[in-house]
């Protein structure tokens, strides 16, 4: 399987974010399952490929996943930021990760703590990438994504195609206004149906009246490479 960090789409996202000189980046989304962790991880490997060091921070206390993705341990973040250095785990030669905090301590949600965290690790790494919790998922144990975004140089929003509503998007965008440098948005079309799927569904409606025509049409659709491309 081709590594996601090699995809053309990732190259375009990279050029717009870390490749543009930003040293700290928040990956945010309106809702769950948008693919923030996948994008954050891919960007980390892409930046490491040019000889840069990367820190990947899992700030999604609602549903942390970096530890599972890379088979890492989780621990409680200390209240003193410099002590966090002992909690870093290596993912690859130029990539380290700070897995999600096990304890929803109040102090780590404060702007001062996050500012100190970002400043401290900028001295150790070329780039810091934050994987955050959904903007619209309010939970007292979360670190608000907009708070993290306010402490990074750039923010990238991931939108789940076919599921994120306009209202969801407006609500998420409103939380970032005057707080974050939103440099772009990515639509994750993984769950969107292909054009071929839509056409076959329509062909099925012909089956009762014109079964032979419907079958020929579906066979043509199934064999057409263009129609079977992902959206």
Could you tell me the end-to-end alpha-carbon distance of the chain, in angstroms, rounded to an integer?
20
Segment 185-226, tens digit of pLDDT: 888 766 555 555 556 666 677 677 667 766 766 576 566 655
Beta bridge partners of 182: 155
Cα separation, 139 vs 125, in Å, equals 30
Cα separation, 39 vs 20, in Å, equals 16
Segment 50-80, tens digit of pLDDT: 999 999 999 998 889 999 999 999 999 998 9
- Band the pLDDT of 130: cuts 50, 70, 90: very high
**Least reliable range by pLDDT among 12-16, 93-97, 121-125, 218-222:** 218-222
- What token pair was written down for 102? 């096990």
- Band the pLDDT of 104: cuts 50, 70, 90: low
Mean pLDDT for the chain overall: 83
Q: What are phi and psi of 36, to 5 degrees?
A: -60, -45
Q: Please tell me which residue, 230 or 82, carries the higher pLDDT value.
A: 82
Centroid of chain to Cα 107: 25
Sequence spans of domains, the chain? 4-188, 193-231
Q: Is the pLDDT of residue 230 over 60?
A: no
Domain range 4-188, CATH architecture: 3-Layer(aba) Sandwich (3.40)
Q: Are 59 and 142 in contact (CB under 8 A)?
A: no
Give the pLDDT of residue 117. 94
Question: Given the DSSP bridges, would you call strands 182-188 and 54-59 parallel, antiparallel or unpaired?
Answer: unpaired
């Amino acid at each position: 399987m081709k590594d996601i960090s090699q995809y053309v789409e990732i190259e375009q996202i990279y050029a717009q974010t870390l490749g543009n000189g930003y040293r700290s980046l928040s990956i945010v989304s309106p809702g769950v399952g948008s693919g923030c962790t996948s994008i954050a991880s891919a960007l980390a490997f892409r930046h490491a490929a040019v000889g840069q060091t990367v820190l990947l921070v899992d700030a999604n206390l609602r549903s942390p996943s970096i530890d599972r993705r890379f088979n890492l341990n989780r621990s409680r973040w200390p209240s003193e930021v410099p002590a966090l250095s002992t909690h870093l785990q290596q993912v690859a030669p130029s990539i380290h990760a700070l897995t999600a905090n096990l304890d929803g301590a109040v102090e780590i949600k404060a702007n001062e703590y996050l500012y100190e965290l970002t400043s401290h690790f900028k001295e150790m790494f070329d780039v810091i990438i934050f994987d955050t919790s959904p903007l619209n998922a309010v939970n007292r144990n979360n670190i608000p994504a907009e708070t993290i975004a306010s402490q990074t140089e750039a923010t990238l929003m991931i939108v789940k195609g076919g599921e994120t509503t306009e209202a969801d998007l407006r609500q998420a965008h409103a939380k970032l206004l005057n707080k974050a440098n939103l440099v772009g948005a990515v639509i994750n079309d993984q769950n969107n149906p292909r054009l071929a799927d839509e056409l076959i569904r329509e062909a099925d409606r012909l089956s009762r009246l014109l079964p032979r025509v419907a079958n020929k049409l579906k066979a043509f659709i199934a064999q057409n490479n263009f129609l079977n491309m992902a959206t």
